[in-house]
Structures are given as structure tokens and as C-alpha cells.
């Protein structure tokens, strides 16, 4: 790390700081007006994210990726994170994420079922892209329904064991866990 750690409290500073090379590249959030790296501590973080998505999509993508990585570890990961504090885990987080896809079938109406896929983002796969891909591959509805969840309208669970490794060669068939039938 060569950059200076950001100070937790903002100080009122008059004039140029001789220790800083201007211009500093700090991007401020239009929602909470803090530098965007502080947004996550702002109570209305959701609104901040919406603002980011609109005005700084590239930053929003980073935030999303970050969140996807930390969410993917499940409950244990979250608890550990709270205890250790966010900063400590920043570097470790990536390798701690367990890479695993799960697929399951859930009833929809009396005769139909949907297929639920989770874990794609543990392989750094863009969920929107994946949902689109499933939709056109199976010619049916498919959408992102959660932090790391895609629901495909139709029973295509068994096909996914071929389709996923074919589309994303980094995912071995063994890394896809069949949860069978699940209620939602
Ligand atoms: Zn903000």
C-alpha cells in the first residue's frame, strides 16, 4: 500500500495541504455527499448505491463485486467479518470465498417448476449476463432474483450440469451441487 489511509474523521482544512499532490481524485457521493468509500457506513446506503449506479456505474460495479464476494461466504463469513472488522478482511476475503454453485427445483403453480441457481458470482460471473444466457439457451424467462441467485422459469436443473461447464469452463461439474427439490 502506497497510498495514505483515509482518515475516519474529516477535518476542516484551509488551503492546500502541502503533503498532498493536487488534484486528488476523490469521488463524492451525490446522496450522502461523503467520499464514496464512506457510503457503506451511511445509514441510507441503499440510496447511495442507487446514486452510484446512475452516476458512477464503474464505481457501482466495484461495490457490487465487493458485496457479492462477501455475501457468497454465507452466514459464517458474515459473522467473522463483523468480529474482525471490515478492513482486516479486505485482502483475505477473495480466497476465503467458497466456490460452489447450487441448483435446485422449486414448484411453481400446480404443474410447473422453476430452477434456482446460486453461487455463480463466486466464480466472478456477472449474474445479469448469466441470466440472459440461460434465458436464451433454454428459451424461457430467467432473471436475477437475489444477491447471488438466478431463477429460470422451467425445469432445466439437470441440463445445467452440462450447460454451465460448457459456458464457463472454469466451473467443473463437481462444483455444482444438486439440492434437489426445494420449497421457496
Ligand atoms: Zn453515499
Q: Over the stretch 5-35, which tens digit does the pLDDT of each residue have?
A: 655 555 566 666 666 666 667 888 999 998 8
pLDDT tens-digit map of 30-86? 999 988 888 888 889 999 999 999 998 888 888 888 877 776 655 554 455 555 444
For ligand 1, the distance from its centroid to the CA atom of residue 4, given in whole angstroms, is 21
For ligand 1, the distance from its centroid to the CA atom of residue 29, given in whole angstroms, is 4
Residues with CB under 5 A from ligand 1 (ion): 29, 31-32, 39, 48
Which residues in 16-159 belong to E strands, given as ranges?
Answer: 101-108, 112-118, 142-146, 149-152
- Rounded percentage of the chain residues whose pLDDT exceeds 90: 48
Q: Is 131 helix (H, G, I), strand (E, B) or coil?
A: helix
pLDDT tens-digit map of 103-156? 999 998 888 999 999 999 999 999 999 999 999 999 999 999 999 999 999 999
Burial class (CB in 10 A: 0-12, 13-18, 19+), 120: buried
For ligand 1, the distance from its centroid to the CA atom of residue 1, given in whole angstroms, is 25
Q: Which pLDDT score is estimated for 64? A: 82
> DSSP letters along 65-80, please?
HHHHHHHHTHHHHHHH
| Longest CA pairwise span in the chain (Å) | 71
Q: What is the pTM of this model?
A: 0.48
Q: With both helix axes pointing from N to C terminus, report the angle between 45-55 and 57-72 in degrees, rounded to the nearest 10.
A: 130
For ligand 1, the distance from its centroid to the CA atom of residue 36, given in whole angstroms, is 6
Contact indicator for 127, 121 with CB cutoff of 8 Å? yes
Strands 149-152 and 142-146: antiparallel
For ligand 1, the distance from its centroid to the CA atom of residue 132, given in whole angstroms, is 30
Rounded Cα gap, residues 129 and 143, in angstroms: 10
Q: Which residues of 148-160 are buried (b: 16+ CB within 10 A; e: fewer)?
A: bbbbbbbbbbebb
Amino acid at each position: 500500500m502506497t497510498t495514505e489511509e483515509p482518515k475516519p474523521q474529516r477535518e476542516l482544512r484551509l488551503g492546500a495541504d502541502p503533503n498532498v499532490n493536487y488534484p486528488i481524485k476523490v469521488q463524492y457521493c451525490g446522496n450522502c455527499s461523503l467520499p464514496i468509500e464512506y457510503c457503506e457506513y451511511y445509514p441510507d446506503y441503499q440510496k447511495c448505491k442507487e446514486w452510484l449506479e446512475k452516476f458512477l456505474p464503474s464505481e457501482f460495479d466495484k461495490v457490487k463485486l465487493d458485496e457479492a464476494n462477501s455475501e457468497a461466504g454465507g452466514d459464517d463469513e458474515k459473522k467473522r467479518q463483523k468480529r474482525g472488522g471490515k478492513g482486516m478482511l479486505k485482502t483475505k476475503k477473495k480466497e476465503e470465498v467458497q466456490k460452489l454453485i447450487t441448483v435446485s427445483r422449486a414448484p411453481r403453480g400446480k404443474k410447473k417448476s422453476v430452477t434456482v441457481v446460486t453461487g455463480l458470482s463466486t466464480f466472478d460471473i456477472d449474474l445479469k449476463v448469466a441470466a440472459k444466457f440461460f434465458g436464451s439457451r433454454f428459451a424461457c424467462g430467467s432473471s436475477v432474483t437475489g444477491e447471488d441467485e438466478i431463477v429460470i422459469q422451467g425445469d432445466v436443473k439437470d441440463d445445467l450440469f452440462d450447460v454451465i461447464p460448457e459456458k464457463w469452463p472454469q466451473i467443473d461439474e463437481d462444483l455444482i451441487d444438486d439440492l434437489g427439490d426445494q420449497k421457496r
